[in-house]
Structure 1
Amino acid sequence: MKQLKQFAFIALFLGTSIFQGCKKDDRPEAEPELPQAERKGIYVLCEGLFNANNTSLSYFNYEDRSLITDKFASVNGRGLGDTGNDMKIYGSKMYIVVNVSSTLEIVNPHTGASIKKLDLKQNNVGRQPRYITFNSNKGYISNFDGTVAVLDTASMEIEQYIKVGRNPEQMAIANGKLYVANSGGLDYPNYGNTVSVIDLKTLQETKKITVGENPRGVVADQYGDVYVLSTGNYADVKSSMTTIDSKTDQVKTAVNFSGGSMVISGDYGYIPASGGKLKVFNVKTEQLEKENFITDNTKITSPYGLAVDELTGEVFVTDAKNYTTGGEVFCFDKEGKKKYSITVGINPNNVVFINK
């Protein structure tokens, strides 16, 4: 579920990003110039409306430029459920986290067919899963009940639950450890301010690191740093970014920063910002490199999700528009110029890439 995004997303990006430091060493509007790499197409997860049970999965086929606005329903004869929150491909399977329904849908990405659906509940009470990440044939799913589920990707069974902090959100893996943002996001105004560190060998929480208030976004770079994006309390406590050295688990920097998510590709982190901009942060130099990645004046109303195609360098930005009707997905080339856009379902939040 993205309840918090439904009422707080606009406020989240009203500030101005501040970075300091130094560092380590429907159908396209026009016929797009499609990638020559081995991509078959993209899936777009559209979370729908909270408690409306209308999550959808759009599929855009690069080969014939066809668009199916709800691939999952057309293939399986049923919907995904209520409030799809995260989606990733690992190995030969695609994993879709459905928050309000408290399910994990495991899908064949080439056909859209469901392989298995797991209920993430305790005593028939939903755990409210949020995000999923993977390492060494294990999946890790954060749940708003204060746990991280450990999934065996071969057996497709949950092996155990690890207790962390309140209302965990995004996670990142670095140096054999899983970093989990404990947002406390359902306890307004008593938000959390820690990141749990889980040893992936023992599957035990080893410590909690203090960060900014209401941490939600967590991402790791190739140099061993973990970035934690905290949204504050939307009043007197401002949003911030904390950088953790994963080798020592010590906080390196903590600066004011307006944003709730960052996607890193190579040395560059892409951050949605106010005014529909997409800031570019260089994780190697730890400097803000561009105020806006978009160079052709393309207007994005409500940036909601980001993805970067590592094969082509294309940057995909999802636009939730007014959060109640159909959204749009924009594809930009490496120079920040729009290539095409497609119209999809309500509140698109994730894009994944399908190989041939």
Structure 2
Amino acid sequence: MNKLQLKGLIAIAALASVFSSCRKDRITPDPVDPVAPANGIYILNEGNFSRNNSSLSFFSIASKTTTPDIFKTVNGRGLGDTGNDAKIYGSKMYIAVNVSSTIEVVDAKTAKSIKQIKLTNGGVDRQPRSIVFNKNKAFISSYDGTVSVLDTASLTVDKYITVGRNPEEMVISNGKLYVANSGGLDYANPDKTVSVIDLTTLTEIKKVDITSTNPINIAADNYGDIYVLAYGTDYPSKPKLIIIDNKTDAVKTSKDIDAGYGTSFIVVGDNAYYITDAGKIAVYNVKTEVTKSENFITDGTIFKAPYALAVDPVTQQIYVTDAIDYSSNGRLYTFNDAGKNQDVNKKGYVMDTGINPGTIVLLSK
């Protein structure tokens, strides 16, 4: 989840939100949980913009050991400039390196490079941002206004789908791919749409006007709702949480939310987790549509610059990175389902990371 250090540059004032409650019935099946909890943790570190110093850290849960930059150790070269997203699909991990405009495909267990894919259009970098998967296809949003469709067997791009301006995160729900079009490179005129792509025809079938500008983060629940965080451009402004019905693709509601800029909205079961503007970890119940907790952390742990989140759906462990000062190495913390710090190394946190630890990837056994 790359923010290009926007967390350190943009402050969005926010107040605690009050959410109305309603009953929701589950209409889609739960996702299949991993067969085992995570036994390893990858951290994709963005590095500093245009410094060519992205890195991939790894922590072994079994041995409690850290490899500071496993990609460079294994492959003898660096990742490139501004690692933006990483996800595991099957036996491979796919890493989007934004400014270098590459997709690194590596063995998920060893980080050994399988293929580096350059995403360009007539020699112009596309700048990949986010990755999701469906039926042996990887979908990659890029700042040039496209979603690449990558075949995960041949590792070649089948087609490019034109969407909105500067697309960011994506989510799959009800047979459709939803793409948050930020328009974030045009500060004076950001986008305010979510593209809807039919996964059968691989075509954009509509753009949903969410009225709020600069949508970046997007997620889905098991009740037919799509959640979009839109940040606007005015200062001070409150981020908006926009909820879209995945049957009609119509906006159901829009609410103020105390989210920090660029935080992921991670839905696991009936709970969504996000980083607040005050640097806390909030929990929102997607079934009742009320805030369950304004701070999940119960042991007094305080972050300097909380940056990325991940949740193990098997153990309910919560992982949080701290970018500290956005220019030096960060840290990874883990908390149990009661919000208590799991001080595995007796130093208050799990591991030291690289600079700007923006994406957490859990490696299952």
TM-score of the superposition, structure 2-length normalised? 0.91
Letter in structure 1 aligned against 2:294 = E
TM alignment of 1:47-86, pairs within 5 A: 47-86=46-85
Please give the alpha-carbon distance, in whole angstroms, between the structure 2 residues aligned to 1:292 and 1:192: 31
- Give the superposed CA RMSD: 1.6
Equivalent position of 1:226 in the other structure:
226
Give the deviation of 1:311 after TM superposition. Answer: 1.5
Aligned residue in 1 for 2:185:
186
1:18 maps to a residue whose letter is S
Correspondence for 2:101:
102
CA contact (8 A) 1:23 1:283 kept: no
Quick one: distance in 1 between partners of 2:12 and 2:135? 35
Of the three residues 335, 343, 354, the one matched with 2:352 is 343
Alignment of 1:1-356 (within 5 A): 2=2, 4-9=3-8, 11-21=10-20, 22-25=22-25, 37-211=36-210, 212-235=212-235, 238-259=238-259, 260=262, 261-340=264-343, 341=349, 342-356=351-365
1:192–1:214: 8 Å Cα contact kept in structure 2?
yes
Letter matched to residue 355 of structure 2: I
- Aligned partners of 1:272 and 1:10: how far apart in 2? 16
Identify if the C-alpha distance between structure 1 residues 215 and 332 changes in structure 2 by more than 3 Å, giving closer, same or farther. same
Alpha-carbon distance between aligned partners in 2 of 1:39 and 1:192, rounded to the nearest angstrom:
37
Contact 1:12/1:234, CA 8 A, preserved across alignment: no
- Unpaired runs of 5+ in structure 1? 26-36
Q: Distance in 2 between matches of 1:44 and 1:304?
A: 12
Which region of structure 1 is more displaced relative to structure 2, 270-279 or 154-163?
270-279
C-alpha contact (below 8 Å) 1:11/1:234 kept by paired residues: no
The Cα shift of 1:174 comes to: 0.6
Task: Measure the CA separation in 2 of the matches of 1:234 and 1:336.
Answer: 34
Structure 2: gaps of 5 or more residues: 26-35, 344-348
SS at match of 1:133: strand
- Checking the alignment, whether the CA contact within 8 Å between 1:56 and 1:345 is kept in structure 2 is yes
In the TM superposition, residue 308 of structure 1 has moved relative to its aligned partner by 0.3
Question: Could you tell me how far apart the structure 1 residues matched to 2:8 and 2:286 are?
Answer: 25
Question: What do residues 300-333 of structure 1 show as CA deviations (whole Å, max 9, x unaligned)?
Answer: 1111111001121100011111100001111000
Once the two structures are TM-superposed, the CA of residue 7 in structure 1 deviates from its matched residue by 3.4
Is the 2:120–2:126 contact (alpha carbons within 8 Å) kept by the matching residues of 1?
yes
Residues 98/214 of structure 1: CA separation in 2 closer, same or farther (3 Å cut) = same
1:141 alignment partner, SS class = strand
- Deviation of residue 12 (structure 1)? 4.6
What one-letter code is carried by the residue in structure 1 that aligns with 2:318?
A: V
Structure 2 SS opposite 1:73: helix
Q: Is the 8 A contact 2:8 2:326 kept in 1?
A: no
Question: Can you list the C-alpha shifts for 1:105-156, whole angstroms capped at 9, x where unaligned?
Answer: 0010111100111001111211010000011111110000000000111111
Partner of 1:29: none
Structure 1 Cα separation of the partners of residues 120 and 16 of structure 2: 38
Contact 1:150–1:158 (CA<8 Å) still a contact in 2? yes
Deviation at 1:57, TM superposition (A): 0.5
C-alpha separation in 2, matches of 1:335 and 1:15: 26
Contact conserved, 1:13 with 1:273, CA < 8 A, in 2? no
Q: How far apart are 1:39 and its partner, in Å?
A: 3.2
Code of the residue aligned with 2:217 in structure 1: it is G
Q: In 2, are the aligned partners of 1:197 and 1:207 still within 8 Å (CA)? A: yes
Does the Cα contact within 8 Å between 1:16 and 1:273 map onto a contact in 2? no
Instruction: Give the letter aligned to residue 322 of structure 2.
Output: D
How far the C-alpha of 1:9 sits from its partner, in A, is 5.0
Determine the C-alpha separation between the residues in 2 that align with 1:276 and 1:201.
40
Q: Report how many aligned residue pairs link the two structures.
A: 345
